[in-house]
Amino acid sequence: MLNLVLFGPPGAGKGTQSAHLIEKYQLVHLSTGDILRSEVAAQTALGLEAKKLMDAGTLVPDAVVIGMISSKIDANPKAKGFIFDGFPRTIAQAEALDTLLQQKETAISMMLALEVDNEELTKRLLLRGKDSGRPDDSNEEIIKNRINEYNTKTAPLKSYYTGQGKFSAVPGIGSIETIFASLANAIDAITV
């Protein structure tokens, strides 16, 4: 199985690149951001709780997202592999993911990191906020909080996957096609 973790700060382009990667490598796309937004739209109990945190740019509790991912993995027993987009975001989530995959006799193949500076991230998210209506993209203070959450809770995952020999970084600035080509090169280097 090819199991990829897409990593990077908010607005780095994880969702954008996932759409291309799932097509090329026939993977099942698991985006915790998308799953949470659909829970919010459906006004489930989980969605109502998550909305407050997401709107403030704060991470949702580990137990909630780990449970969501576990049931999505179980729902796709025939998958050739998964692309984890926006998950894991904490060391606890990464450890839980390793355990879940071990139970399925598989593992993460690699973590692909998109590197983008804060100025570009803020520009992209404010631009998206104009059309998407996403409350977490609508103001600079909330975006700052999301980047801060990333730096304190998510960035340590780089060492976690480096320690497993699975970390690979590509520049996340440039055209979507160029960035996709860099990601595909990194994946092909471990799969051929």
CA–CA gap between residue 110 and residue 94 (Å, rounded):
12
Does the protein bind ligand B4P through residue 5 (CB under 6 A)?
Answer: no
Pick the closer one to ligand B4P by CB: 151 or 191. 151
DSSP state of 136: G
87 forms part of the interface with ligand B4P (CB under 6 A): yes
Contact 13, 118 (CB under 8 A): no
Decide if residue 57 touches ligand B4P (CB under 6 A).
yes
Q: Which of 4, 5, 39, 86 binds ligand B4P (CB under 6 A)?
A: 86
CA distance 100 to 58: 25
Cα Dmax for the chain? 45
Q: Which is nearer to ligand B4P, 33 or 183 (CB)?
A: 33
Report whether 135 contacts 58 (CB < 8 A).
no
> What's the min distance (Å) between Cβ of 192 and ligand B4P?
26
Rounded distance, CA 185 to CA 164, Å? 20
In the complex with ligand B4P, which residue's Cβ is closer, 27 or 86? 86
> Which among 41-49, 82-90, 100-108, 182-190 is the span making contact with ligand B4P, rule CB under 6 A?
82-90
Q: Is position 129 an interface residue for ligand B4P (rule: CB under 6 A)?
A: no
Rounded CA gap, 4 and 133, in Å?
29
Binding ligand B4P by CB under 6 A: which of 136, 157, 167, 183?
Answer: 136
Cis ω for the linkage preceding 77 (within 30 of 0) = no
Summarize as ranges the residues that interact with ligand B4P (CB under 6 A): 8, 10-16, 32-33, 36, 53-54, 57-60, 65, 86-87, 89, 93, 124, 128, 136, 146, 176, 179
